[in-house]
Structure 1
Amino acid sequence: MKLILGKIIQTKQRRQTILKYIWSNELKFFTDFNFIQKNKQTNRLTLAGIYPLWLNIATNEQTKYIVEKIETLFLFDGSLVTIISKQSTQQWDYPNGWAPLQYIAYRSLIQISDYKNLARIIRQRWMSLNERVFKETGKMMEKYDVVNINKPADGGEYKTQDGFEWTNGVYLQMLYDQQLELEFNLFFFFISMKYYRIKISYRQYISTKKRNVN
């Protein structure tokens, strides 16, 4: 019991520390903490700022601000860019999108009822881009250009790799989730149809019975 209480206290303290040091009241987003210039946050918005949502650390108000920026600044035709700044040529940065962060963003939002539709949009755009490139090249890629979906991803210290296990894994998990949702919806559709037929049959039975009585 003492160990459990200690873990709970430790978890609360860790959450408070995260909210204190990486939430930017100015940007209304979670940002990196600058360890070189102490007590200072970076001023860059990156998709990594969604991790506190995934871990259920963010407050409802913070979540609202984050989702607003995800939808208006990060989301493009091919899904989510990693960073919105266009001044970098690093391989993780604009206009590129990467499977792990797509999945973290998608999983963060799908667990919140108000943002499930946005999560599905992210999932569908990312899967569609994966499928489109695969049809053209026969390959799954390490990263994708999510802004210019007709162009191959570029930038960084080496050429874009193909194959790629985390892209494969994220795609398969999203596909599984999509199929599960479809099966779930079909199940409830058939249940509701069965209920509707029973209801109609019951009404017909009552109506017939009343006529026979009269």
Structure 2
Amino acid sequence: MVDRDRTTVDNLVKTLMTKLAAPGGVVSNDITDDHRGFRGQWDWPAGWAPHQMLTWIGLMRLNKVKEARVLASRWVSLALETFINYGCLPEKFDVVSCTSTLNLEYGNQCTGVGDFFGWTTASVEFALQQVLTDGDIAEIERNMKMVVKND
């Protein structure tokens, strides 16, 4: 299907980039209303490292490398900004508001100084090694210097 039907691929990627892409990465889903009376830990606006990595891999396999790089840059920037500000890499992020503070079921794990959640750490390393270009990384570094200078 992927090689034969580029229209399907293009529509899928367009939906991803318009419905699920957020300033800090990819949200778990696009359901923004609290229809059950609470927000579960996997609900919007949460972004989880496994979802990010699977999305990047899928996009690269679809030859949508630019989109993979854009989303990986957003995720890595959010993770590094969190590390700079709080000294940790938590289990998940609010990728819409770009924060590690989430008002969801079970809260968040690894939010103390020196805490590093395994799959979040792995996702940053994977993005740096497999998805992002040297130019992307340099841009993230420039932006991080601006974040540090502004604080």
Q: TM-score, normalised by structure 1?
A: 0.53
Structure 2 unmatched ranges of 5 or more = 111-115, 136-151
Structure 1 unmatched ranges of 5 or more = 1-52, 184-214
Match for 1:144 among 93, 116, 124? 93
Of the two, which has the highest radius of gyration? 1
Match for 1:171 among 115, 121, 124? 124
Change (3 A) 1:111 1:161: same
Change (3 A) 1:58 1:151: farther
Tell me the SS of whatever aligns to 1:144: strand
Which residue of the partner structure matches residue 26 of structure 2? 80
> What is the CA–CA distance in structure 1 between the aligned matches of 2:33 and 2:24, rounded to whole Å?
20
CA shift for structure 1 position 59: 4.7
Which residue of the partner structure matches residue 66 of structure 2? 117
> What is the CA–CA distance in structure 1 between the aligned matches of 2:3 and 2:44, rounded to whole Å?
27
Tell me the SS of whatever aligns to 2:93: strand
Q: What amino acid does structure 2 have at the position aligned with 1:60?
A: R
Instruction: Map 1:43-192 to 2 at 5 A.
Output: 59-88=5-34, 89-113=39-63, 115-150=64-99, 152-156=101-105, 158-162=106-110, 163-178=116-131, 181-182=133-134
CA shift for structure 1 position 153: 2.5
After superposition, what is the alpha-carbon deviation per residue over 1:95-151, rounded to whole angstroms, capped at 9, x for unaligned?
Answer: 1100000010011112333x2111100000000000011111111010000001146
Tell me the SS of whatever aligns to 1:83: coil
Q: Larger % of helix: which? A: 1
RMSD: 2.4
Count of residue correspondences = 126
Change (3 A) 1:176 1:57: same
Higher relative contact order (CA 8 A, sep 6+): 2
Instruction: Map 1:203-214 to 2 at 5 A.
Output: none
Q: TM-score, normalised by structure 2?
A: 0.74
Q: Decide whether the 8 Å contact of 2:27 with 2:46 is kept in 1.
A: yes
Q: What amino acid does structure 2 have at the position aligned with 1:82?
A: S
